[in-house]
Amino acid sequence: MSENEVMKGKTVLITGATSGIGFATAKELARMGASVVLVGRNLEKCVSASAQITQITGNAQVEYILADLSTRNGVQSVAQKFLSRHSRLDVLLNNAGVFLMSREVTVDGFEMTFALNHLGYFYLTYLLLDTLKETGMSRVVNVSSDAHRGSKLDFQDLQGESNYTGFGAYGKSKFANVLFTYELSRKLIGTQVTANALHPGFVASEFGKNNGGFLRFAMKLMKPFQKTIEQGASTSIYLASSPSMSAVTGKYFADSKEVKSDPLTYDQSAAELLWQKSLEMLVLK
């Protein structure tokens, strides 16, 4: 099978696909023949991203679901809409993320970075797990970051109520992505569903530019040291599509190679506790 056909017949759901790494990943997977469902929170961007992908790749099987993934209702509506239109899910790509210098709170009362970057990944995966299992050989790909290194979760203060910093909250949320991925892979033993996490690199996307002039300016200065968006998408594309990844699970990747994540992410009791706390926060069993 040529590279152009490797995703033919496969359905991919990708969050945060209206810009940056998510958009570039969706475009490439559509080029490889996948039926691609983009999730975004801005209608104009959703319409434009799906039209662009179809125009560039010639693949008409590109659609979108509009939702705010930082809220419980938003995640539920994505799962409901997806399941009303599709009976299989080959790849769930959790990618939507945010960095916030100042603490914000969602309509559900959760700190925004934790809500979108961790609970959004956790809840969407939870709601689509049966479909992933029924599909057979399917994959969950979680976009984390090397910003998780040196971080750890404070289970007494998962909502960052004391001493919030943007970098601290972001590092913790990306640490949670790795813990969640490893715990998910353990829970999926005996199924054909894999779960892996990745660091895309330091990428010249729109990321962090919602934080005003200073960060925008700093990012501009760093541009020569950043990967292009296409380079940043390459590990996501690899984990989502490479035949060599079909049975690899519970690993962390950078530059399409398996690497060790922070030593503390291998703490199984912390991963179990995060799972349990996440269920409780979302009022799930």
- What is the residue whose two structure tokens read 């892996």? 196
- Binding of ligand NAP by 145 (CB under 6 A): yes
Among 192, 202, 255, 272, which residue sits at the site for ligand NAP (rule: CB under 6 A)?
Answer: 202
Least separation in angstroms between CB 45 and ligand NAP: 5
Q: How are the residues of the chain apportioned to helix, strand and coil, as percentages rounded to the nearest 5?
A: 50, 15, 35
Among 32, 91, 92, 98, which residue sits at the site for ligand NAP (rule: CB under 6 A)?
Answer: 98
Among 13, 96, 176, 245, which residue sits at the site for ligand NAP (rule: CB under 6 A)?
Answer: 96
- Binding of ligand NAP by 108 (CB under 6 A): no
Least separation in angstroms between CB 175 and ligand NAP: 12
Least separation in angstroms between CB 21 and ligand NAP: 4
Contacts of 149 (CB under 8 A, 6+ apart): 171, 261, 262
Q: Which is nearest to 28 in space by CA: 40, 39, 36?
A: 36
| AA identity, residue 124 | L
Token output for 78: 């994505």
| Catalytic hit among 121, 123, 126, 170 | 170
Q: Determine the interface stretch with ligand NAP among 158-166, 182-190, 203-211, 250-258 (rule: CB under 6 A).
A: 203-211
Helix residue ranges, H only, 116-206: 120-135, 166-187
Among residues 40 and 160, whose Cβ is nearest to ligand NAP?
A: 40
CA gap 215, 233 in Å, rounded: 22
- Would you give the binding string for ligand NAP spanning residues 49-88, x where CB under 6 A is met? -------------------xxx------------------
Question: How far apart, in Å, are the Cα atoms of 196 and each of 17, 30, 71, 203, 257?
Answer: 19, 21, 24, 20, 12
- Binding of ligand NAP by 45 (CB under 6 A): yes
Least separation in angstroms between CB 179 and ligand NAP: 15
- Binding of ligand NAP by 48 (CB under 6 A): no
Site residues for ligand NAP, window 12-41 (CB under 6 A)?
16, 18-22, 40-41
238 is annotated as an active-site residue: no
| AA identity, residue 276 | Q
CA gap 81, 222 in Å, rounded: 39
Q: Which is nearest to 19 in space by CA: 223, 205, 231?
A: 205
The residues binding ligand NAP (CB under 6 A) are: 16, 18-22, 40-42, 45, 68-70, 95-98, 116, 143, 145, 199-200, 202-203, 205-207
Enzyme catalytic residues? 170
